[in-house]
Amino acid sequence: MECLKKLTGKLALLMTLCVPSAEAANQEIRALFRPDPAQPNRNMFINTTPNSGYCAIHPTECAGKKMFSIQVPIRFNSTRPISPGLSGVGVKAPADWRQLTVTNRDTQETETVEIRITGMGSRYSLSHSAASLVGVTDILEGHQKLWIGGIGGSWDYAAPPCLYSGVGSYSDKSYSFFWKTPVQAACTKVPAFQIPAMAFEYFDFAYELRTPNPMGMSTGLYTGSLAYSVGRGGDFDMGQAMAPDQTSLDLDFVLDVQHTLKVDLPPGGNKVALQPEGGWQPWIESGRKPTRIYADQLFYISASSMFRVTLRCIKADVLACALRSPNGESAVVNVILTLPNGIELNNVPVKEFYLQVDVPRGPFQPKHYVDRKGGSLRFEMTQASIDLLFRPGFSDTFSGNITVIWDSDV
């Protein structure tokens, strides 16, 4: 409670106005994408938020259903006695899908995340033992008779339209429960006897996520928040007679995208020798001018995100690289890229794609995680340069450095 004091009039009357303070609980939900060589086609985030509450206590109930749960330290206290046959208490959870936007902290790119609440539970505590409220001595019988429906009124059994989850535990004054929430509606238990006071000590909620396809996302942290109201008429509601000590729940999402882009050359692959098809010996023996002079260099690429490829060289001839000779001559060489299956450009496989000097080409898009698959770079001399080299009486040596840059920062 926050109290405001105001001094008014000549009589210096001290007035105090007390209003409920608006408080919020915060909970972080984290998910990670890191490519897995053992499952290259698994383009999914993994929820890395530690379970608490229901799924931590009953992991087998959640594992097979891909369900996660969080326990929130929000307490609901009754504002009046709970009378038999009236409004009752229970749970209402935001079971419908809700969307929020997450933003990459570095690139400001945005994506959409969806969440729905699939279950909700708590532990109710009574001002008196359940047995004493109904006039029996057995603890379990007391809880069963306290609520309309007898044994079926026990909080193991969910009030419709909520569904039974299969677990529950109790003491003389308390009962722990968890119900599945297939729809966004109130699931209410009505007491058969007067309850002077009661509380829900906390609440657990189970949730399901829909995350974007990480293959189209940049590396980095994507963050965003979603606010839920708590209390009478709110998203999380325990009934008209129950008031929470906090009025909102903010879920803070962090999606961590850790992409891989790695290119390896075989040993000695950084030195390339251009020669005619079949080698130089057939040309020497025949004396005929070769039609092609080239070299195919194998490489191995691991990639899980979009990337671009840029060609750089010391000497260029328009958009192609050139080799130089000590005598000042030059020979133009095209660099042609072939990528392994699973990496595409505009949904088309990348086969014999010409790179251009200082022009980033792409973005090339992996359709799934490509783990150390083979591609090739072809270095091929142009026909005009072949004609230059094979002029009668011409003899020279050509060399140069050509750099291929692989850039995942697209």
Whether 178 and 288 share a structural domain: no
Whether 324 and 366 share a structural domain: yes
Whether 251 and 352 share a structural domain: no
- Per-residue pLDDT for the chain (410 aa), expressed as one digit of tens each? 344 333 333 323 333 333 344 467 899 999 999 998 888 888 899 999 999 999 998 888 888 777 899 999 999 999 999 999 777 899 999 999 999 999 999 999 999 999 999 999 999 999 999 999 999 999 999 999 999 876 667 898 899 999 988 778 999 999 999 999 999 999 999 999 999 999 999 999 999 999 999 998 989 999 999 999 999 999 999 999 999 999 999 999 999 999 999 999 999 999 999 999 888 888 777 778 888 999 999 999 999 999 999 999 988 888 899 999 998 889 999 999 999 999 999 999 999 999 999 999 999 999 999 999 999 999 999 999 999 888 887 888 899 999 999 998 75
> pTM above the 0.85 mark?
no
DSSP 8-state secondary structure symbol assigned to residue 162: S
- Using the 3D structure, point to which of 240, 257, 274 is the last residue of a domain: 257
Residues 6+ apart with CB under 8 A from 263: 299, 300, 301, 302, 406
Whether 177 and 89 share a structural domain: yes
Amino acid 216: pLDDT? 87
Whether 237 and 346 share a structural domain: no
Overall number of domains in the chain: 2
- Using the 3D structure, point to which of 214, 238, 257 is the last residue of a domain: 257
Kind of pairing between the strands at 330-338 and 370-381: antiparallel
**Strand runs labelled E in 265-369:** 275-276, 293-303, 307-313, 316-317, 320-324, 330-338, 343-345, 348-349, 353-354, 361-366
Measured CA to CA, the distance from residue 96 to residue 383 in angstroms comes to 65
Whether 201 and 289 share a structural domain: no
Q: Encode pLDDT of 266-305 as tens digits.
A: 999 999 999 998 888 887 777 788 889 999 999 999 999 9
Whether 266 and 213 share a structural domain: no
The secondary structure of 137-155 as a DSSP string is S-HHHHHHHHBTTGGGGST
Amino acid 151: pLDDT? 65
Cis peptide before 59 (omega within 30 of 0): no
- Using the 3D structure, point to which of 257, 292, 315 is the last residue of a domain: 257
Whether 140 and 235 share a structural domain: yes
Letter for the amino acid at 384? A
Residue 369 lies in a domain: yes
Q: Encode pLDDT of 395-408 as tens digits.
A: 888 999 999 999 98
Measured CA to CA, the distance from residue 177 to residue 166 in angstroms comes to 9
Whether 244 and 268 share a structural domain: no
Q: Domain range spanning residue 331?
A: 261-407
Whether 176 and 188 share a structural domain: yes
Whether 250 and 351 share a structural domain: no
Whether 172 and 276 share a structural domain: no
